[in-house]
C-alpha cells in the first residue's frame, strides 16, 4: 500500500471542509479564529505534499510564508478582539452587526 | 508499509482533533484540541521529509500561537456560553464540501495538465534544512524580508491594540474611582 499524493490531497480536503464548517457554524469569535487556523493548516499539508512528490522546494517556501501570515493574523486579530470585548463585553458574532446593513 | 500506517494513524488523529475543535462548546477544549491537531499536522511534514517545516510548525503554532490564544483567553469570560444559532445544517456542510473540493481542484489542475515544472529542484546530498536555507536566502530573499516587516507591524499592532489602559486595574480601585472611570469611558 503506497501513500501517494492523492492521499494527502484528500486529507487536505477533509481538513479544509472541517475548517469551513467551523467558520460557517460558530458564533463565538474566538472559535472562528481557531477555524481559520485549521484552514491555513489544511493548505499547508497540501503544499508540503506537492513539494515532496514533485521534488520541488517552492511548496515548502510558500508553507513558511503561510505560517508567517497566520502568526501575524493571530496577533492583530486577538488585539482587535480584546478591544471589542472591553467595549461590549461579548464575543458573539451576531453582536457585531452595528451597521444595520 | 510503515509510512502507510503512520499516515493513516495521524490522519485519523488530526481529523478527530480538528472535529473536536469545531464542534465543542467549551473554548478551553477547543484550544487544547487545536494544539494537539497542530502537533499531529507536523507529523505529516516529517513523513514528507520537510523536517524544517515540521519543526517550525511545532515552534510557531504550539509555542507562539497557542500561547497567544491562551493569554488572550484570560481577557474573555470563556465560561459563558455564546448562543449558537443553528442554521440549515445541510446547506453549511454542502457549501463547505464544495469549497474544499474547489481548493483541491485548484491544486490539482496544473498537475492534471502536466504544467508543473520543478523550479527549484531538491539538491542531492544535503539535508532539508540546508536546502531550505539555500532557496530561502537566494530566490525568496525579498519575500522573506517583507514577511519579517509584516511580523513587526503585526507585533506593534498587537501591543497598541491590547495594551491600551493596561495600567488600570479595577480590583485595586475603590468604588468612587471605578465610577469616575466609567463616566470617562461614556464621554470618550
pLDDT digits (tens, 9 = 90+) for A57-100: 888 899 999 999 999 999 898 888 888 887 777 777 777 777 66
The domain tally of chain A equals 1
> Is A44 within 8 Å of B154 when comparing Cβ atoms?
no
Residue B171: predicted pLDDT: 67
Residue in chain A closest to B146 (alpha carbons) equals A65
A18 in a domain, yes or no?
A: yes
Mutation pick from A12, A18, A50, A84 vs chain B, by most beta carbons of B within 10 Å, is A18
Q: Would an 8 Å CB–CB cutoff place A74 in contact with chain B? A: yes
Considering only CB atoms, which chain B residues are within 8 Å of A88?
Answer: none
* CB nearest B82 (choices: A3, A15, A27): A27
How many cross-chain Cβ pairs, A to B, lie less than 8 Å apart? 230
Q: Which of A75-79, A92-96, B120-124, B141-145 has the lowest mean pLDDT?
A: B120-124
A46 in a domain, yes or no?
A: yes
Considering only CB atoms, which chain A residues are within 8 Å of B108?
Answer: 9
Whole-complex ipTM: 0.89
Coil, strand, or helix at residue B1? Answer: coil
Judged against a pLDDT cut of 60, whether residue B135 lies above it is answered with yes
Coil, strand, or helix at residue A56? Answer: strand
Reported confidence tier of residue B141, pLDDT bands at 50, 70, 90: very high
A57 in a domain, yes or no?
A: yes
A3 in a domain, yes or no?
A: no
User: Exposure string (b/e) for B21-40, b if CB count within 10 Å is 16 or more?
Assistant: bbbeeebeebbbbbbbbbbb
Reported confidence tier of residue B17, pLDDT bands at 50, 70, 90: very high
Reported confidence tier of residue B87, pLDDT bands at 50, 70, 90: low
Distance from CA of B22 to the nearest CA of A (A): 5
Interface of A with B in 29-48 (CB under 8 A): 30-31, 33-35, 37-38, 41, 43-46, 48
Q: Would an 8 Å CB–CB cutoff place A70 in contact with chain B? A: yes
Residue B91: predicted pLDDT: 82
A5 in a domain, yes or no?
A: no
Q: Would an 8 Å CB–CB cutoff place A73 in contact with chain B? A: yes
A36 in a domain, yes or no?
A: yes
Considering only CB atoms, which chain B residues are within 8 Å of A86?
Answer: 75, 165
Judged against a pLDDT cut of 60, whether residue B130 lies above it is answered with yes
Output the domain CATH number for residue A55.
1.10.287.3510
- How confident is the model over A15-26, as pLDDT tens digits? 988 998 888 888
> Is A74 within 8 Å of B57 when comparing Cβ atoms?
no
A77 in a domain, yes or no?
A: yes
Name the residue range of residue A63's domain. 11-90
| Rounded CA separation B6/A30 (Å) | 32
Reported confidence tier of residue B36, pLDDT bands at 50, 70, 90: very high
* CB nearest B18 (choices: A10, A15, A27): A15
Residue B78: predicted pLDDT: 65
Q: Which long-range contacts (CB under 8 A, 24 or more apart) does B127-133 make?
A: B127/B51, B128/B49, B128/B50, B128/B51, B128/B52, B129/B51, B129/B52, B131/A57, B132/A57, B132/A60, B132/A61, B132/A64, B132/B52, B132/B53
Amino acid at each position: 500500500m503506497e501513500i501517494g499524493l492523492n492521499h494527502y490531497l484528500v486529507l487536505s480536503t477533509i481538513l479544509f471542509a472541517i475548517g469551513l464548517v467551523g467558520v460557517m457554524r460558530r458564533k463565538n469569535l474566538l472559535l472562528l479564529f481557531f477555524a481559520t487556523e485549521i484552514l491555513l493548516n489544511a493548505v499547508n499539508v497540501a503544499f508540503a505534499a506537492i513539494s515532496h512528490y514533485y521534488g520541488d522546494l517552492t511548496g515548502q517556501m510558500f508553507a513558511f510564508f503561510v505560517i508567517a501570515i497566520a502568526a501575524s493574523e493571530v496577533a492583530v486579530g486577538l488585539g482587535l478582539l480584546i478591544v471589542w470585548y472591553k467595549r461590549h463585553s461579548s464575543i458573539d458574532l451576531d453582536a457585531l452587526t452595528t451597521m444595520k446593513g | 508499509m510503515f509510512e502507510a500506517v503512520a499516515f493513516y494513524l495521524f490522519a485519523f488523529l488530526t481529523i478527530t482533533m480538528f472535529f473536536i475543535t469545531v464542534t465543542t462548546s467549551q473554548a478551553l477544549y477547543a484550544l487544547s484540541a487545536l494544539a494537539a491537531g497542530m502537533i499531529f499536522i507536523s507529523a505529516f511534514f516529517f513523513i514528507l521529509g520537510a523536517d524544517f517545516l515540521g519543526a517550525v510548525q511545532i515552534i510557531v503554532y504550539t509555542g507562539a500561537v497557542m500561547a497567544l490564544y491562551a493569554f488572550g483567553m484570560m481577557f474573555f469570560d470563556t465560561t459563558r456560553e455564546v448562543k449558537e444559532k443553528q442554521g440549515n445544517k445541510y446547506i453549511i456542510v454542502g457549501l463547505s464540501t464544495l469549497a474544499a473540493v474547489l481548493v483541491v481542484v485548484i491544486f490539482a489542475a496544473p498537475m492534471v495538465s502536466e504544467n508543473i515544472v520543478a523550479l527549484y529542484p531538491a539538491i542531492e546530498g544535503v539535508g532539508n534544512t540546508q536546502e531550505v536555507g539555500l532557496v530561502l536566502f537566494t530566490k525568496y530573499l525579498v519575500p522573506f524580508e517583507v514577511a519579517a516587516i509584516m511580523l513587526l507591524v503585526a507585533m506593534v499592532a498587537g501591543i497598541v491594540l491590547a495594551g491600551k489602559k493596561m495600567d488600570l486595574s479595577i480590583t485595586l480601585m475603590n468604588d468612587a474611582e471605578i465610577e469616575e472611570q466609567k463616566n470617562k469611558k461614556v464621554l470618550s
